[in-house]
Every structure is written in C-alpha cells, then in structure tokens.
Amino acid sequence: MKIAIIGAGNVGRTLGEGWTKRGHEIVYGTREPVNSVRDAVQSSDVVVIAVSWKAVPEALRAAGDLKGKVVLDPTVPLLPDFSGLDTSVQPSGGETVAALIPGAKVVKIFNTTGNNNMANPDYHGEKATMFYCGDDAVAKQLAASLAGDLGFEPVDAGGLNQSHVLETLGLFWVSLVYKQGLGREIAFKLMRR
C-alpha cells in the first residue's frame, strides 16, 4: 500500500520506517519538499497527518483535496507546555480535522503513545494496545491493519466522536511519562478475561 506521511518528525519517521519494513511504500510530504505535500497525498492510498497540532491547518491546506481519502490522525491538541488539552478545540481534535477536510475518511489513531512504542510495541511478549476511532468502517479496518502491521493490538473505540477520549488518553500518557516520571517505556494494554 502507498502511504503519504505529512511531516517527517519523530512520529512520521517512526511510522514510515515501520511500515517500510512490512512492505508498504512510503512517501513523505514536507514543507521543504523532496515531494510536495500535495504530490505525496494525491498519489497515495492513505494519508497520515504527522505534524504538531498547531501545524494541522497549514498541512491540510497544503495537501489539497482529500475527499474520499483515508486520513489517519495521530495528533493531540496539547497546550504548548503539555499541561492539558487546548479547550478551544471543540468538540475534539479528530472532529476538527474531519471538519477541515470534508469527505475524507478520518480515523483517530497513533495518538495514545510515543514514537518509541510505535517502533516497538512489544512488552515481554504482550502487544501494546492501539485504540482507534472513526466513522467509516472500511477506513477503520485499514487503520487497524496498519496498527497490526507495526505489532500493536488494535482496539476499536467507536465513532470519531470518541476522539476526545483518545486525546485525553494521549495527554494521560504524556503526564505519566513526564510529570509522574515513569519514562517513555510505558504503554497501555486492554486486559480481558
């Protein structure tokens, strides 16, 4: 599958490297383009928005028409000091992204952990859980498959209106890592019996 990753920071590079190892074709779209964002997006099956929250509107404008595209949204609308979520973003970051790109099939995913876990979600033989949500069943299945390709246990968290829950979970991971001092080698796991 051909995947366009908008942005080439830690998350974008880590996802791209992981999917490349599993046989996917990755093309990056950046502001200093080898490939322009628009070219990368138009030639791809899936688009990943791997930029900071404040850069999302510009990145989506640069992408051009995303109608009908599967768009994976790993962003979290964090305050600059990571102390909380930006409450001006209503009702959630995922829904805001969807409103900015009408007709795209947005799936909120890869926002509840750090890039270190995207590189290796294995914890002593247990797969870290990757929650995702969206309104298009086919797009969600594709997102789950891509999470599984990286070694996660994908878990459907419902419709895109659950983005606020996943964004809060992303903030919680950041809080545990930095404010509680647990370090980055932690991940969430949904337990069953």
Average pLDDT over residues 155-175: 97
pLDDT at 33 over 70: no
Please provide the average confidence, as pLDDT, over all residues in the chain. 95
The whole-number pLDDT of residue 38 equals 87
The whole-number pLDDT of residue 173 equals 97
pLDDT at 31 over 90: no
Express each pLDDT in 120-160 by its tens digit: 999 999 999 999 999 999 999 999 999 999 999 999 999 99
pLDDT at 44 over 70: yes
Domain ranges of the chain: 2-179
Express each pLDDT in 77-119 by its tens digit: 999 888 899 988 999 999 999 999 999 999 999 999 999 999 9
Q: Which CATH superfamily does the domain covering 2-179 fall into?
A: NAD(P)-binding Rossmann-like Domain (3.40.50.720)
Question: Whole-prediction pTM value?
Answer: 0.95
Single-letter amino acid, residue 159: G
d(CA 45, CA 106): 13
9 closest CA partner among 112, 149, 115: 115
Strands (E), the chain: 2-6, 25-29, 46-49, 70-73, 105-108, 122-123, 126-127, 129-134, 153-156
pLDDT at 34 over 60: no
The whole-number pLDDT of residue 40 equals 85
Q: Residues 176, 150: contact at Cβ < 8 Å?
A: no
Confidence category of residue 30, pLDDT binned at 50, 70, 90: confident
Confidence category of residue 35, pLDDT binned at 50, 70, 90: low
The CA-CA-CA angle for residues 96, 101, 102, to 5°, reads: 100
